[in-house]
Each structure stands twice: as C-alpha cells, then as structure tokens.
Amino acid sequence: MSQASPRASAATGHGDGSRTRGRAPALSGPAPEPFPALARPRAAFCDGRPHRPAGDVTIMAPVSDHRRHPDRGTRRAGQASGRVVQPQTVGVQLANSTRPIIAVLIPCRNEALTVTQVVTDFRRALPDAVIFVYDNCSTDNTYDLAVAAGAVARREPTPGKGNVVRRMFADVEADVYVMVDGDATYEAAAAPALVDKLWSENLDMVNGSRVETGANAYRAGHRFGNRMLTGTVAYLFGRQFDDMLSGYRIMSRRFVKSFPALSSGFEIETELTVHALELRVPIAEVKTRYGERPEGSTSKLSTYRDGVRILVTILRLFKDEKPAEFFSAAGALMAVASLLFGIPVIAEFTRTGLVPRLPTAVLATGLMISALLLIICGIILQTVTRGRLELKRLHYLSVPIRAPRHTED
C-alpha cells in the first residue's frame, strides 16, 4: 500500500504541522477587557512633576484579533462549507461585548459651582466612560474640584471655547465623544440613549436639541439669536438642525479626527454644524431637557458680541464653502447698481446722441465690469472648493472608526 506524498497530505489537510483548512482559527487566552483604561505618562521633569507629552490623553483597551474582526472566522467557515454566511453588522447595541470606548469632554471656565455636579451626573449616566475636564483660564478652583470629582483634568491656557475644543479633539482618543458644557444645564441622563443612537445607527453626530424646563433657561435675547442664526445656517447650508448652537453633541471618532477646528470662540458650534452639513455625514437631532443655571453661576456668552462673531463666521463659511453663490450674489448686486446708474445715461444718449454725465457713465461701466469679475472669480473658486471638499471627504474616510487598542501577543 503506497504512502501519500507530503504534498498530497498537505492538500488534504493531514500530516504533522499542517494547518487544517476550512476552520476558523482557534482563539486562546483570557478574554480582553472591553472597558477603557487610561494610559499613564512614564516620564517626569527634573523637579518631579509628571511630563505629559502632546497627545498622551489616550484611552486604550486591549483587543484580540477576533474582536477587531468579528466576522473573520464566520466568513472562513462559510467559504469552506460552500454556504453564504453574512458577516456581523457594524452597528451594535451598547449591551454587546464590543461596546465603544466613550470619552466625555467638558470645557470649563470658572465653573466651580457646577463642575462637580456635571462630572458626577455623567459618571452615573455613563459609568464606563472616561471624563475629561479642560479648564480654560479659570480664576476659581474649577480645576481642583474636577480632579476631586474623579475627572481627568487638563489646562488650556489659550482663552476661547474653540481653542479648548481643538485641544480636546487632538488629545483624546476614543470611539465616541460626548461634548457638553460644564454649566449643569444639559441632561446627563439622556447621554446613554444619545450614545446608543449614534453607535447603533452608524451616525457621525447626534445633536442634543434644547427643550427648556425653566422660564430662565435662556437669557434675554439668546432665544431670538439662536433662532435667527440657526435659520440663517438652514437657509444657506440646508435645514437638518433646529438648535445649531447646542453645546451637547455626541460625535464619532471619524468626525472628530477629521474636523479642522479653526474657530477660537463660541462660533465653534457653527463650524461643527457646517462641517457636518458640507461633508453630508449621517447626523441626527434628539430633543433633550435644558435647565437653568444654578444661582451664582453666570453665562460666558455675550449676547451681542458673540452673536455678531457667529454671524460673521456663518458668512465666512458661506464664502469658503459656496463661493459661486457668494460671489454671484455680490456680482448681481453690483450689476443692478450699474443698471440703475447706467440706464438714464443710455436713455439720454439715444435721445440726444450726447453723454452729458460722463462720470456717471464711467461709474456704471466700472460696476458692471466688477460684477462680471466677481462672477468669474466665484466660478473659479467653486472648482477649488470642490477639490478641497473631496480631500476633506477622503481624509474623513481614512480615519478608523475605532480607537487604537493593545493587541495580544
């Protein structure tokens, strides 16, 4: 009886040292922890103070190969048996073992009266999340109270909410980001439902639309300003939000890491909204309760100064993102002005053959030439903007949905 050749043994899956085909690879070792663990700095300055290099605020959790690719073994088994096996869906419930790593980001400035309550409420609502408090030039003990409440506290010396958001987005690594103001006006109990909606429906942003629960939740003028500015953005970029200026947002890692964050102040919410609308990422809005500030706590938002800054930001973003419409509108205004000045001059010339008002004729001609130049500039810039939008979209798609994990050896 002849012996099978080594090649035949390998082809049939027999023989020592051969790998059995058609079977999923065996998994060994203890199951990885699904919950995040904060990476700690390893270096220190000469005086003993801990050294935290840029980007050290990273939430890391070990994960094995089968956790990163849950459908790999199923797909291989289906190929071996000849059956078509559907891979597991990407959107999973929070109760699943592949729950996301959540980071709660709380920008604060002089919020000593409320920061402890905010940290406590969100720790109760999201017990698996890591809570970060970024103190922005506070003159009270906001930082110390945040540390005492169990949050990871950091300082951002450059004043302005936009500067704080830029720093938070750069430093923190997570799968889901919960950004909320530190004034204890937003509903922490709604956070699990908002996170679950974002994760299970594969969204990139869930906006917490504010529903007042008190007569003094909004300051005088804030309600009208919010509606006017939200309506302006809806008219220029599309209506998908009823509360554009809400400070309660749930965002995906892919959206956060592809967001440029160019604003320096309270106009950062406007930039977040327009960025989502222009990239046409999947977004949603959920109504959440909005309460009054505690007695003694004051808003940092200036009704008129910050309102004007937000309006200017909207116009600037309209120019940057839709230059054809912006410059065409400006050109149309100049063309209308040119006709108003030029029609009487033309009528006089057709009647008498003379141009008695030469300066008016020159002005009308200059306005019409400027109008045509503006329209041409808008068409050229629209092509440039389209290229920038394609690059932003490609960068957005290149960002992994999940944050980096430690892999098993």
In a domain, residue 228? The reply is yes
310, 228 in Cβ contact below 8 A? no
If asked whether residues 389 and 279 sit together in one domain, one would say no
Integer angstrom CA distances of residue 111 from 28, 79, 138: 49, 58, 8
By three-state DSSP, how is residue 238 classified? coil
Which segment, 67-71, 210-214, 374-378, is predicted with the most confidence on average? 374-378
If asked whether residues 213 and 114 sit together in one domain, one would say yes
State what percent of residues in the chain have pLDDT above 70. 75
Which stretch of DSSP H or E encloses residue 122?
Answer: helix 115-125
* Rounded Cα gap, residues 401 and 409, in angstroms: 23
Q: How many domains does the chain have?
A: 2
Give the global pTM.
0.72
If asked whether residues 282 and 308 sit together in one domain, one would say yes
Report pLDDT digits (tens) over 47-69: 444 444 444 444 444 343 434 44
* Rounded Cα gap, residues 405 and 253, in angstroms: 14
Average pLDDT over residues 213-237: 84
If asked whether residues 162 and 273 sit together in one domain, one would say yes
Which of these, 98, 73, 88, lies nearest to 22 by C-alpha position?
Answer: 73
If asked whether residues 163 and 223 sit together in one domain, one would say yes
If asked whether residues 139 and 248 sit together in one domain, one would say yes
* Rounded Cα gap, residues 290 and 215, in angstroms: 11
Full domain range(s) for residue 332? 323-407
If asked whether residues 129 and 152 sit together in one domain, one would say yes
Residue type, 244: M
Confidence of residue 223 (pLDDT cuts 50, 70, 90): confident
